[in-house]
Amino acid sequence: MTAEGAIEFEALETQAASLMRLFVEAGYERVAPAFIQPASLFLDRIGEALRARTYVFTDPDGEELCLRPDLTIPVCRIFLERPNSRAITKFCYNGPAFRVQEGRPDPLRPREFRQAGIEYFGLRSAEADLEVLKLTIEAVRKGGLRNFTIKLGHIGIFTALLNALDMPARWRQRLARSFWRPAVFASELERLSRPKKHRSSFLPSDILTCEELLNDLETRSVPFIGLRRPSEIVKRLKEKAADAEELPLSSATVGIIQDYLRITRRMPDAVDSIETLAGKAKLDISAAVAEARTLFEGLLPHAGSALLVFAADFGRHFEYYSGMVFQIEIEGAGIPGQIAGGGRYDGLVKAMSQGRRDVPAVGAAIHTERLLAAAAGKL
Protein backbone atom coordinates (compact mmCIF):
# COMPACT_ATOMS: atom_id res chain seq x y z
CA MET A 1 0.00 0.00 0.00
CA THR A 2 1.36 3.41 -0.96
CA ALA A 3 1.64 6.21 1.58
CA GLU A 4 -1.22 8.02 -0.18
CA GLY A 5 -3.32 4.83 -0.13
CA ALA A 6 -2.58 4.27 3.55
CA ILE A 7 -3.62 7.83 4.40
CA GLU A 8 -6.88 7.48 2.46
CA PHE A 9 -7.60 4.11 4.08
CA GLU A 10 -7.06 5.58 7.52
CA ALA A 11 -9.34 8.50 6.69
CA LEU A 12 -12.07 6.11 5.49
CA GLU A 13 -11.77 4.06 8.66
CA THR A 14 -12.08 7.17 10.81
CA GLN A 15 -15.06 8.32 8.76
CA ALA A 16 -16.72 4.89 9.05
CA ALA A 17 -16.32 4.85 12.82
CA SER A 18 -17.95 8.28 13.04
CA LEU A 19 -20.88 7.32 10.78
CA MET A 20 -21.51 4.01 12.55
CA ARG A 21 -21.46 5.75 15.91
CA LEU A 22 -24.08 8.21 14.64
CA PHE A 23 -26.32 5.41 13.33
CA VAL A 24 -26.00 3.23 16.42
CA GLU A 25 -26.79 6.15 18.72
CA ALA A 26 -29.92 6.74 16.62
CA GLY A 27 -31.10 3.19 17.42
CA TYR A 28 -29.76 1.21 14.44
CA GLU A 29 -28.12 -2.18 15.02
CA ARG A 30 -24.88 -2.72 13.12
CA VAL A 31 -24.83 -5.77 10.83
CA ALA A 32 -22.26 -7.22 8.41
CA PRO A 33 -23.83 -8.99 5.38
CA ALA A 34 -21.83 -11.58 3.44
CA PHE A 35 -19.86 -10.34 0.42
CA ILE A 36 -20.97 -13.30 -1.72
CA GLN A 37 -24.71 -13.58 -2.32
CA PRO A 38 -27.10 -15.78 -4.35
CA ALA A 39 -27.12 -14.18 -7.80
CA SER A 40 -30.84 -14.74 -8.37
CA LEU A 41 -31.75 -12.40 -5.50
CA PHE A 42 -30.11 -9.52 -7.35
CA LEU A 43 -30.68 -10.40 -10.99
CA ASP A 44 -34.43 -10.73 -10.47
CA ARG A 45 -34.86 -7.45 -8.58
CA ILE A 46 -32.28 -4.76 -9.31
CA GLY A 47 -33.26 -4.13 -12.92
CA GLU A 48 -31.58 -4.70 -16.26
CA ALA A 49 -29.28 -1.69 -16.01
CA LEU A 50 -27.46 -3.14 -13.01
CA ARG A 51 -27.72 -6.79 -14.00
CA ALA A 52 -25.00 -6.18 -16.59
CA ARG A 53 -22.82 -4.51 -13.93
CA THR A 54 -22.97 -7.37 -11.44
CA TYR A 55 -20.06 -9.79 -11.00
CA VAL A 56 -21.67 -13.22 -11.41
CA PHE A 57 -19.94 -16.59 -11.15
CA THR A 58 -20.75 -20.27 -10.57
CA ASP A 59 -19.28 -22.28 -7.71
CA PRO A 60 -18.11 -25.94 -8.14
CA ASP A 61 -21.57 -27.18 -7.06
CA GLY A 62 -23.23 -25.25 -9.87
CA GLU A 63 -24.80 -22.53 -7.73
CA GLU A 64 -24.90 -19.10 -9.37
CA LEU A 65 -23.44 -16.50 -7.02
CA CYS A 66 -22.45 -12.85 -7.20
CA LEU A 67 -20.40 -10.22 -5.44
CA ARG A 68 -22.93 -7.90 -3.83
CA PRO A 69 -23.46 -4.82 -6.06
CA ASP A 70 -25.49 -3.19 -3.30
CA LEU A 71 -26.10 -3.81 0.41
CA THR A 72 -29.85 -3.31 0.71
CA ILE A 73 -30.76 -6.81 -0.49
CA PRO A 74 -28.13 -8.52 1.73
CA VAL A 75 -29.44 -6.57 4.73
CA CYS A 76 -32.98 -7.69 3.83
CA ARG A 77 -31.69 -11.27 3.95
CA ILE A 78 -30.44 -10.70 7.48
CA PHE A 79 -33.86 -9.33 8.41
CA LEU A 80 -35.58 -12.39 6.95
CA GLU A 81 -33.23 -14.71 8.85
CA ARG A 82 -34.76 -13.31 12.04
CA PRO A 83 -38.35 -14.61 11.95
CA ASN A 84 -39.07 -13.20 15.39
CA SER A 85 -37.91 -9.67 14.60
CA ARG A 86 -39.59 -6.82 16.40
CA ALA A 87 -42.39 -4.94 14.63
CA ILE A 88 -39.86 -2.24 13.83
CA THR A 89 -36.27 -3.24 13.10
CA LYS A 90 -33.42 -0.88 12.20
CA PHE A 91 -30.03 -1.93 10.81
CA CYS A 92 -26.88 -0.02 9.83
CA TYR A 93 -23.81 -1.21 7.95
CA ASN A 94 -20.50 -0.21 6.42
CA GLY A 95 -18.57 -2.20 3.84
CA PRO A 96 -17.61 -2.77 0.22
CA ALA A 97 -19.87 -3.36 -2.78
CA PHE A 98 -18.76 -4.42 -6.26
CA ARG A 99 -19.88 -3.34 -9.74
CA VAL A 100 -18.51 -3.68 -13.26
CA GLN A 101 -17.54 -0.20 -14.49
CA GLU A 102 -17.40 0.75 -18.14
CA GLY A 103 -14.83 2.95 -19.81
CA ARG A 104 -11.54 4.13 -18.40
CA PRO A 105 -10.69 3.49 -14.75
CA ASP A 106 -12.09 6.23 -12.50
CA PRO A 107 -10.96 6.47 -8.86
CA LEU A 108 -14.40 7.81 -7.93
CA ARG A 109 -16.18 4.97 -9.77
CA PRO A 110 -14.11 1.95 -8.74
CA ARG A 111 -15.10 -1.67 -9.15
CA GLU A 112 -14.91 -2.05 -5.39
CA PHE A 113 -16.35 0.81 -3.36
CA ARG A 114 -17.64 1.38 0.15
CA GLN A 115 -21.15 2.05 1.31
CA ALA A 116 -22.36 3.09 4.74
CA GLY A 117 -26.08 2.98 5.23
CA ILE A 118 -29.26 2.38 7.17
CA GLU A 119 -32.38 0.25 6.61
CA TYR A 120 -35.64 0.79 8.52
CA PHE A 121 -38.14 -2.13 8.48
CA GLY A 122 -41.72 -2.28 9.67
CA LEU A 123 -43.29 1.15 9.25
CA ARG A 124 -44.92 2.57 6.14
CA SER A 125 -45.28 6.25 6.89
CA ALA A 126 -43.80 9.67 6.25
CA GLU A 127 -42.38 9.42 9.78
CA ALA A 128 -40.02 6.58 8.81
CA ASP A 129 -39.11 8.23 5.48
CA LEU A 130 -38.33 11.47 7.25
CA GLU A 131 -36.16 9.75 9.85
CA VAL A 132 -34.04 8.11 7.15
CA LEU A 133 -33.73 11.38 5.22
CA LYS A 134 -32.80 13.40 8.30
CA LEU A 135 -30.24 10.85 9.48
CA THR A 136 -28.62 10.64 6.03
CA ILE A 137 -28.39 14.44 5.82
CA GLU A 138 -26.86 14.54 9.31
CA ALA A 139 -24.38 11.81 8.32
CA VAL A 140 -23.07 13.59 5.20
CA ARG A 141 -22.74 16.80 7.19
CA LYS A 142 -20.87 14.90 9.88
CA GLY A 143 -18.60 13.65 7.10
CA GLY A 144 -17.71 17.25 6.22
CA LEU A 145 -20.09 18.01 3.34
CA ARG A 146 -21.55 21.51 3.58
CA ASN A 147 -23.03 22.56 0.23
CA PHE A 148 -25.23 20.09 -1.61
CA THR A 149 -28.57 19.52 -3.31
CA ILE A 150 -31.22 17.08 -2.11
CA LYS A 151 -32.98 15.72 -5.20
CA LEU A 152 -36.34 14.09 -4.49
CA GLY A 153 -38.67 11.90 -6.50
CA HIS A 154 -41.69 9.79 -5.68
CA ILE A 155 -42.42 6.49 -7.41
CA GLY A 156 -45.71 6.28 -5.52
CA ILE A 157 -47.06 9.39 -7.25
CA PHE A 158 -46.03 8.10 -10.67
CA THR A 159 -47.62 4.71 -9.94
CA ALA A 160 -50.83 6.45 -8.82
CA LEU A 161 -50.80 8.50 -12.03
CA LEU A 162 -50.48 5.38 -14.20
CA ASN A 163 -53.24 3.63 -12.23
CA ALA A 164 -55.56 6.59 -12.79
CA LEU A 165 -55.03 6.58 -16.56
CA ASP A 166 -56.90 4.37 -19.01
CA MET A 167 -54.63 1.60 -20.28
CA PRO A 168 -54.16 -2.19 -19.91
CA ALA A 169 -52.63 -3.26 -16.59
CA ARG A 170 -49.62 -4.84 -18.31
CA TRP A 171 -48.86 -1.48 -20.01
CA ARG A 172 -48.80 0.18 -16.59
CA GLN A 173 -46.37 -2.46 -15.40
CA ARG A 174 -44.20 -2.07 -18.49
CA LEU A 175 -44.01 1.71 -18.17
CA ALA A 176 -43.25 1.38 -14.47
CA ARG A 177 -40.44 -1.10 -15.20
CA SER A 178 -38.84 1.17 -17.80
CA PHE A 179 -39.21 4.33 -15.71
CA TRP A 180 -35.60 3.97 -14.49
CA ARG A 181 -34.20 4.29 -18.02
CA PRO A 182 -35.45 7.54 -19.64
CA ALA A 183 -34.55 6.60 -23.23
CA VAL A 184 -36.22 3.18 -22.92
CA PHE A 185 -39.27 4.75 -21.27
CA ALA A 186 -39.67 7.32 -24.04
CA SER A 187 -39.40 4.58 -26.65
CA GLU A 188 -41.96 2.41 -24.84
CA LEU A 189 -44.41 5.29 -24.48
CA GLU A 190 -44.08 6.11 -28.18
CA ARG A 191 -44.60 2.46 -29.14
CA LEU A 192 -47.77 2.11 -27.04
CA SER A 193 -49.24 5.18 -28.74
CA ARG A 194 -48.81 3.78 -32.26
CA PRO A 195 -51.77 2.43 -34.24
CA LYS A 196 -52.32 -1.29 -33.65
CA LYS A 197 -51.00 -2.43 -37.01
CA HIS A 198 -47.62 -0.80 -36.33
CA ARG A 199 -47.19 -2.17 -32.81
CA SER A 200 -46.42 -5.88 -33.29
CA SER A 201 -46.02 -8.42 -36.08
CA PHE A 202 -46.20 -11.44 -33.74
CA LEU A 203 -49.06 -13.94 -34.15
CA PRO A 204 -50.27 -16.47 -31.53
CA SER A 205 -48.94 -19.37 -33.65
CA ASP A 206 -45.50 -17.71 -33.73
CA ILE A 207 -45.51 -17.37 -29.94
CA LEU A 208 -46.49 -21.01 -29.45
CA THR A 209 -43.60 -22.15 -31.66
CA CYS A 210 -41.12 -19.93 -29.78
CA GLU A 211 -42.42 -21.15 -26.41
CA GLU A 212 -42.04 -24.81 -27.38
CA LEU A 213 -38.52 -24.19 -28.66
CA LEU A 214 -37.38 -22.26 -25.58
CA ASN A 215 -38.93 -24.79 -23.19
CA ASP A 216 -37.17 -27.58 -25.04
CA LEU A 217 -33.82 -25.80 -24.80
CA GLU A 218 -34.36 -25.14 -21.09
CA THR A 219 -35.33 -28.78 -20.45
CA ARG A 220 -32.11 -29.91 -22.12
CA SER A 221 -30.13 -27.41 -19.96
CA VAL A 222 -28.80 -25.56 -23.00
CA PRO A 223 -26.99 -22.47 -21.63
CA PHE A 224 -28.44 -19.07 -22.55
CA ILE A 225 -26.33 -16.02 -23.35
CA GLY A 226 -27.91 -12.84 -22.06
CA LEU A 227 -29.77 -11.51 -19.07
CA ARG A 228 -33.29 -12.85 -19.61
CA ARG A 229 -34.45 -16.37 -18.77
CA PRO A 230 -36.53 -18.38 -21.29
CA SER A 231 -39.72 -17.79 -19.27
CA GLU A 232 -39.08 -14.04 -19.42
CA ILE A 233 -38.56 -14.18 -23.20
CA VAL A 234 -41.81 -16.11 -23.70
CA LYS A 235 -43.71 -13.67 -21.47
CA ARG A 236 -42.42 -10.71 -23.50
CA LEU A 237 -43.43 -12.37 -26.77
CA LYS A 238 -46.93 -13.13 -25.49
CA GLU A 239 -47.32 -9.55 -24.34
CA LYS A 240 -46.29 -8.26 -27.77
CA ALA A 241 -48.89 -10.47 -29.43
CA ALA A 242 -51.59 -9.23 -27.03
CA ASP A 243 -50.52 -5.63 -27.61
CA ALA A 244 -51.42 -5.93 -31.28
CA GLU A 245 -55.09 -6.21 -30.28
CA GLU A 246 -55.19 -3.14 -27.98
CA LEU A 247 -56.18 0.39 -28.86
CA PRO A 248 -53.21 2.80 -28.68
CA LEU A 249 -52.69 5.21 -25.84
CA SER A 250 -54.51 8.45 -26.58
CA SER A 251 -52.55 11.63 -27.24
CA ALA A 252 -54.16 13.08 -24.10
CA THR A 253 -52.85 10.21 -21.96
CA VAL A 254 -49.36 10.49 -23.44
CA GLY A 255 -49.43 14.26 -22.88
CA ILE A 256 -50.38 13.89 -19.21
CA ILE A 257 -47.52 11.46 -18.60
CA GLN A 258 -45.03 13.68 -20.39
CA ASP A 259 -46.24 16.81 -18.58
CA TYR A 260 -45.86 15.07 -15.23
CA LEU A 261 -42.33 13.89 -15.98
CA ARG A 262 -41.31 17.44 -16.95
CA ILE A 263 -42.10 18.78 -13.46
CA THR A 264 -38.83 19.88 -11.84
CA ARG A 265 -39.22 22.52 -9.17
CA ARG A 266 -38.08 23.47 -5.73
CA MET A 267 -40.15 22.30 -2.82
CA PRO A 268 -42.95 22.82 -1.94
CA ASP A 269 -43.92 24.38 -5.30
CA ALA A 270 -43.51 21.04 -7.08
CA VAL A 271 -46.35 19.42 -5.14
CA ASP A 272 -48.62 22.32 -6.10
CA SER A 273 -47.73 21.73 -9.77
CA ILE A 274 -48.61 18.03 -9.49
CA GLU A 275 -51.98 18.85 -7.91
CA THR A 276 -52.71 21.36 -10.67
CA LEU A 277 -51.86 18.82 -13.37
CA ALA A 278 -54.04 16.13 -11.76
CA GLY A 279 -56.91 18.58 -11.32
CA LYS A 280 -56.88 19.65 -14.96
CA ALA A 281 -56.79 16.01 -16.09
CA LYS A 282 -59.50 15.05 -13.55
CA LEU A 283 -57.32 12.31 -12.06
CA ASP A 284 -57.57 11.28 -8.42
CA ILE A 285 -54.02 10.82 -7.11
CA SER A 286 -54.71 12.77 -3.95
CA ALA A 287 -53.62 10.07 -1.47
CA ALA A 288 -50.13 9.73 -2.98
CA VAL A 289 -49.72 13.51 -3.32
CA ALA A 290 -50.84 14.13 0.28
CA GLU A 291 -48.32 11.56 1.53
CA ALA A 292 -45.54 13.25 -0.45
CA ARG A 293 -46.54 16.71 0.76
CA THR A 294 -46.44 15.59 4.42
CA LEU A 295 -42.95 14.17 3.92
CA PHE A 296 -41.51 17.06 1.95
CA GLU A 297 -42.92 19.73 4.23
CA GLY A 298 -41.53 17.81 7.21
CA LEU A 299 -38.12 17.77 5.54
CA LEU A 300 -37.92 21.52 4.86
CA PRO A 301 -36.82 22.57 8.39
CA HIS A 302 -33.98 20.02 8.29
CA ALA A 303 -32.62 20.89 4.84
CA GLY A 304 -30.80 23.95 6.14
CA SER A 305 -28.81 25.59 3.38
CA ALA A 306 -29.23 22.58 1.06
CA LEU A 307 -31.23 23.09 -2.11
CA LEU A 308 -34.37 20.93 -2.04
CA VAL A 309 -35.59 19.99 -5.54
CA PHE A 310 -38.31 17.61 -6.72
CA ALA A 311 -37.82 15.99 -10.14
CA ALA A 312 -40.76 13.88 -11.29
CA ASP A 313 -38.60 11.80 -13.65
CA PHE A 314 -36.08 10.92 -10.93
CA GLY A 315 -36.09 7.27 -9.95
CA ARG A 316 -32.53 6.12 -9.20
CA HIS A 317 -31.33 2.82 -10.73
CA PHE A 318 -32.96 0.08 -8.65
CA GLU A 319 -36.35 -1.27 -9.69
CA TYR A 320 -37.35 -2.25 -6.16
CA TYR A 321 -38.19 1.31 -5.08
CA SER A 322 -41.90 1.97 -4.53
CA GLY A 323 -42.29 5.40 -2.91
CA MET A 324 -40.08 8.32 -1.98
CA VAL A 325 -36.59 8.33 -3.53
CA PHE A 326 -33.80 10.81 -2.94
CA GLN A 327 -30.22 11.64 -3.80
CA ILE A 328 -27.73 13.96 -2.13
CA GLU A 329 -25.46 15.40 -4.80
CA ILE A 330 -22.96 18.09 -5.63
CA GLU A 331 -23.96 20.21 -8.58
CA GLY A 332 -21.80 19.84 -11.66
CA ALA A 333 -19.78 16.86 -10.42
CA GLY A 334 -21.65 14.23 -12.45
CA ILE A 335 -21.92 10.66 -11.20
CA PRO A 336 -18.98 11.00 -8.76
CA GLY A 337 -20.91 13.88 -7.21
CA GLN A 338 -23.81 11.60 -6.26
CA ILE A 339 -22.85 11.22 -2.61
CA ALA A 340 -25.81 9.41 -1.07
CA GLY A 341 -29.27 8.17 -1.92
CA GLY A 342 -32.08 5.84 -1.10
CA GLY A 343 -35.82 5.54 -0.76
CA ARG A 344 -38.81 3.40 0.11
CA TYR A 345 -39.01 -0.22 -1.12
CA ASP A 346 -42.16 -1.72 0.36
CA GLY A 347 -42.41 -4.80 -1.87
CA LEU A 348 -38.84 -6.08 -1.65
CA VAL A 349 -39.09 -8.12 1.56
CA LYS A 350 -42.33 -9.72 0.34
CA ALA A 351 -40.72 -10.65 -2.99
CA MET A 352 -37.61 -12.06 -1.33
CA SER A 353 -39.69 -14.18 1.05
CA GLN A 354 -42.01 -15.47 -1.73
CA GLY A 355 -44.89 -13.64 -0.09
CA ARG A 356 -44.42 -15.04 3.42
CA ARG A 357 -43.52 -11.70 5.00
CA ASP A 358 -44.95 -8.42 3.74
CA VAL A 359 -42.89 -5.81 5.57
CA PRO A 360 -42.53 -2.17 4.45
CA ALA A 361 -39.04 -0.71 4.42
CA VAL A 362 -37.03 2.41 3.65
CA GLY A 363 -33.28 2.96 3.57
CA ALA A 364 -30.30 4.94 2.35
CA ALA A 365 -26.65 4.44 1.45
CA ILE A 366 -23.67 6.80 1.41
CA HIS A 367 -20.76 6.39 -1.03
CA THR A 368 -18.07 6.99 1.56
CA GLU A 369 -15.13 7.50 -0.84
CA ARG A 370 -17.10 10.17 -2.65
CA LEU A 371 -18.11 11.81 0.64
CA LEU A 372 -14.45 11.90 1.68
CA ALA A 373 -13.40 13.42 -1.67
CA ALA A 374 -16.24 15.96 -1.65
CA ALA A 375 -15.47 17.07 1.91
CA ALA A 376 -11.84 17.59 0.86
CA GLY A 377 -12.87 19.67 -2.18
CA LYS A 378 -11.63 17.07 -4.67
CA LEU A 379 -14.82 16.80 -6.73
Tens-digit pLDDT profile for residues 28-44:
999 999 999 998 887 77
Asked whether the predicted pLDDT for residue 224 surpasses 90, the reply is no
* Structural domains of the chain, ranges and CATH numbers in brackets: 3-162+254-375 (3.30.930.10), 163-253 (no CATH)
Which secondary-structure segment (H or E) carries 66? strand 64-67
Other CB atoms within a 10 A radius of the CB of residue 314 amount to: 21
Q: What is the pLDDT of residue 209?
A: 54
Whole-prediction pTM value?
0.85
Q: What is the pLDDT of residue 72?
A: 94
Label residue 2 by pLDDT band (50, 70, 90).
Answer: very low
Average pLDDT over residues 267-283: 94
How confident is the prediction for the chain on average, in pLDDT?
86
Asked whether the predicted pLDDT for residue 162 surpasses 90, the reply is yes
Asked whether the predicted pLDDT for residue 367 surpasses 90, the reply is yes
As a whole number of angstroms, the distance between CA 253 and CA 246 comes to 15
Q: What is the pLDDT of residue 325?
A: 96
Q: What is the pLDDT of residue 268?
A: 81
Number of H helices, E strands in the chain: 15, 12
Q: What is the pLDDT of residue 1?
A: 45
Among 148-157, 313-322, 332-341, 345-354, name the one with the lowest average pLDDT: 313-322
- Neighbour order of strands in the sheet with 307-311: 29-30, 89-98, 112-121, 361-367, 338-344, 324-329, 149-154, 307-311, 264-266
As a whole number of angstroms, the distance between CA 234 and CA 224 comes to 14
Average pLDDT over residues 175-204: 79
pLDDT digits (tens, 9 = 90+) for 250-265: 999 999 999 999 999 9
Average pLDDT over residues 331-353: 92
Q: What is the pLDDT of residue 274?
A: 97
Average pLDDT over residues 238-250: 75
Label residue 326 by pLDDT band (50, 70, 90).
Answer: very high
Asked whether the predicted pLDDT for residue 214 surpasses 50, the reply is yes
Give the list of residues 6+ apart from residue 378 with CB closer than 8 angstroms, or none. Answer: none
Average pLDDT over residues 48-73: 85
Label residue 225 by pLDDT band (50, 70, 90).
Answer: low
Among 103-107, 265-269, 305-309, 326-330, name the one with the lowest average pLDDT: 103-107
Average pLDDT over residues 55-69: 90
